[in-house]
Structure 1
Amino acid sequence: MGIWRKSWDRLQKAWAIYVLRPLQIFTVSRVVEHVSGPLDVPYAADELIVLCLARDGELYVNSFIQHYARLGVKHIFLLDNGSIDRTVELAHQYPGVTILRARLPFRRYKMAMRHYLVRRFAQPQRWALYVDIDELLDYPFSQQVSLGAWLGYLRERGYTAVIAYMLDMFSDKPLTEVVSDVDDDLMALYRCYDISDVVRMDYYFPRNHLPTDALKAYFGGIRRTLFAPDEIRFVLTKHPLFFLDGKLKPLFVDEHFVRDARIADVTAVLFHYKFLGDFAARTVRAVQEENYHTHSEDYKKYLQVINQSPDMRIKRETSREFQELNELIGNQFLYVSSAYEEWASTNASEVQS
Structure 2
Amino acid sequence: MKGPLHIFRRAWHHIAEARRGARFAAALQHLHGPKALDTEVDDVVLIALVRDGTYYLDAFFRHYRAMGIRHFVFIDNGSSDGTIERIKREKGTVIDQCKLPLARYEDLIRQYPAQTYGKNRWCLYVDMDEIFDFEGRTSIGIKGLVNYLQGRGDTAMVAQMLEMFPKGPLIEAAQKPYKQALLEFLYFDITAVRKLAYHSPEIPFTALLQGNSLSNRNVEFFFDGVRGKVFGETCCLTKHPLVFNGPGVTPAPHPHLSMGVQVADVTGVIKHYKFAGDSGARDAATLANGDLAHGEDAARAQLMSQDPDLSLFSLDARRWNRVELLYRAGFLVRSDAYSAFVEAHK
TM-score tier after normalising by the smaller chain length: 0.7 to 0.9
Q: TM-score, normalised by structure 2?
A: 0.88
Residue matched to 1:317: 315
Unaligned runs of 5+ in 1: 1-9, 349-353
Question: CA separation of 1:249/1:100 partners in 2, compared to 1, >3 Å: closer, same or farther?
Answer: closer
Residue matched to 1:94: 90
Residue matched to 1:282: 282
Check if 1:52 corresponds to 2:56.
no
Residues 91-130 of structure 1 mapped to structure 2, 5 A cutoff: 91-124=87-120, 126-130=121-125
Residues 94-147 of structure 1 deviation map (CA, whole Å, 9 limit, x = unaligned): 2122222223233322221111112111122x2111221111211112122232
CA distance in structure 2 between the aligned counterparts of 1:212 and 1:156, rounded to whole angstroms: 16
Question: CA separation of 1:16/1:110 partners in 2, compared to 1, >3 Å: closer, same or farther?
Answer: farther
Residue matched to 1:351: none
CA distance in structure 1 between the aligned counterparts of 2:9 and 2:129, rounded to whole angstroms: 28
* Aligned mate of 2:163, from 168, 176, 181: 168
Shift of 1:239: 0.7
**SS of equivalent to 1:184:** helix
**SS of equivalent to 1:28:** helix
**SS of equivalent to 1:311:** coil
**SS of equivalent to 1:225:** helix
| RMSD of aligned residue pairs (Cα, Å) | 2.5
CA distance in structure 2 between the aligned counterparts of 1:171 and 1:208, rounded to whole angstroms: 36
Residue matched to 2:205: none
Shift of 1:185: 4.8
CA distance in structure 2 between the aligned counterparts of 1:13 and 1:190, rounded to whole angstroms: 49
Residues 254-286 of structure 1 deviation map (CA, whole Å, 9 limit, x = unaligned): 111111211001111111111023111122233
Residues 196-275 of structure 1 mapped to structure 2, 5 A cutoff: 196-204=191-199, 205-228=209-232, 233-252=234-253, 254-275=254-275
**SS of equivalent to 1:235:** coil
Letter aligned with residue 209 of structure 1: S
Residue matched to 1:330: 328
**SS of equivalent to 2:257:** coil
Question: CA separation of 1:20/1:334 partners in 2, compared to 1, >3 Å: closer, same or farther?
Answer: farther
Residue matched to 2:301: 303
Asked if structure 2 preserves the Cα contact closer than 8 Å seen for 1:59 and 1:180, the reply is no
Unaligned runs of 5+ in 2: 1-5, 200-208
Asked if structure 1 preserves the Cα contact closer than 8 Å seen for 2:177 and 2:277, the reply is no
Residues 289-319 of structure 1 deviation map (CA, whole Å, 9 limit, x = unaligned): 33122xx521122123213212111211111
Q: Percent identity?
A: 29
CA distance in structure 1 between the aligned counterparts of 2:107 and 2:178, rounded to whole angstroms: 29
Letter aligned with residue 240 of structure 2: H
CA distance in structure 1 between the aligned counterparts of 2:11 and 2:132, rounded to whole angstroms: 32
**SS of equivalent to 1:250:** strand
Residues 185-240 of structure 1 deviation map (CA, whole Å, 9 limit, x = unaligned): 54323222111111111112332111222111101111011111xxx711001111
CA distance in structure 2 between the aligned counterparts of 1:49 and 1:102, rounded to whole angstroms: 19
Q: TM-score, normalised by structure 1?
A: 0.86
